[in-house]
Amino acid sequence: MLINKGADEMLEFFSSICENSMGYENELKKLHSTALFLKIKIFLNDLLIMGDNKDAEMRLHTDQTAIFYLSKVYFDEKEIENILNFPTASGLSVSKLFELSLSQKTDLCASHDLAPLVQEIFGIRKGFQKEKGFTKAFKIFEKDWRQKYKKRSEHFPYLKFRNSFRGIDNYNFTSPQPWSSPCPICDGKHGNYGLHGSWYRENGNQLPYDPELAKLYSQDKLEYCLTCNTSSNKLKFATVA
């Protein structure tokens, strides 16, 4: 009886593995025919090159709240949800598998820890960067990103973008400022401390960082403002109708 029970459990176990594998292969095949798959390739490319490419590093670190670097630089909210819930051959979702595989990493390396998982799970071939379709798509993606970044950075030649957190952009000076230097906003003396940028509605209220709430204000005129922690004054730039 015990032998039969053990054999039944073993059979059930292998059946479960086969079922998970078949389900994963079917979902993977569907994914490979979508625009999302190309976006995942672009994301993977940045993970692989971020150590040697400042633009890729900046894109990946734009949103400090992003889970596994999955930010709106690369995907919309629904796409991020689909990626995290995507099934794997193990039967776990991508989110659960990432958590399990990376939980012991005290210092996560995007190129060496996360990139291989992304490449394996989503069935991306080595050398994909040389594919004609990818090369063209990446050039378009990079051009669009640079245009958006340029619009923001051209107003602040003395600043360099660091990251974004809950709708607030954080900046450093392009070169370290002594404490005796006046702040460009409040004219106070506080060196490099507390320079931020964010979008405000025309009535002066900050645009919500929650994307669902932000949609409610999409018809309002917006102003990009630079602020500091020591003053309520704002330098206003680029009104968007």
Q: Per-residue pLDDT tens for 95-153?
A: 999 999 887 777 778 888 999 999 999 999 999 999 989 999 999 999 888 877 666 66
Q: Which pLDDT belongs to residue 14?
A: 40
Highest-confidence segment of 72-86, 164-178, 218-232: 72-86
Please report whether residue 118 resides in a domain. Answer: yes
Do 231 and 182 have their domain in common? yes
Do 138 and 189 have their domain in common? no
Q: Using an 8 Å Cβ cutoff, are 16 and 80 in contact?
A: no
Rounded Cα–Cα distance for residues 217 and 220 (Å): 5
Rounded Cα–Cα distance for residues 139 and 63 (Å): 22
Q: Per-residue pLDDT tens for 176-214?
A: 767 677 776 676 666 666 677 777 666 556 655 554 555
pLDDT at 59 over 80: yes
Q: Which pLDDT belongs to residue 86?
A: 95
Q: Using an 8 Å Cβ cutoff, are 81 and 68 in contact?
A: no
Share of the chain above pLDDT 70, in %: 63
Pairs from 81-86 (Cβ < 8 Å, separation ≥ 24): 82/36, 83/36, 83/40, 86/27, 86/31, 86/121, 86/122
Q: Which pLDDT belongs to residue 130?
A: 93
CA separation (Å) from 112 to 29, 75, 105, 115, 129? 26, 22, 11, 6, 17
Please report whether residue 3 resides in a domain. Answer: no
Do 36 and 115 have their domain in common? yes
pLDDT at 90 over 80: yes
Q: How many domains does the chain have?
A: 2
Please report whether residue 5 resides in a domain. Answer: no
> Could you tell me the pTM of the whole model?
0.63
DSSP code at position 207: P
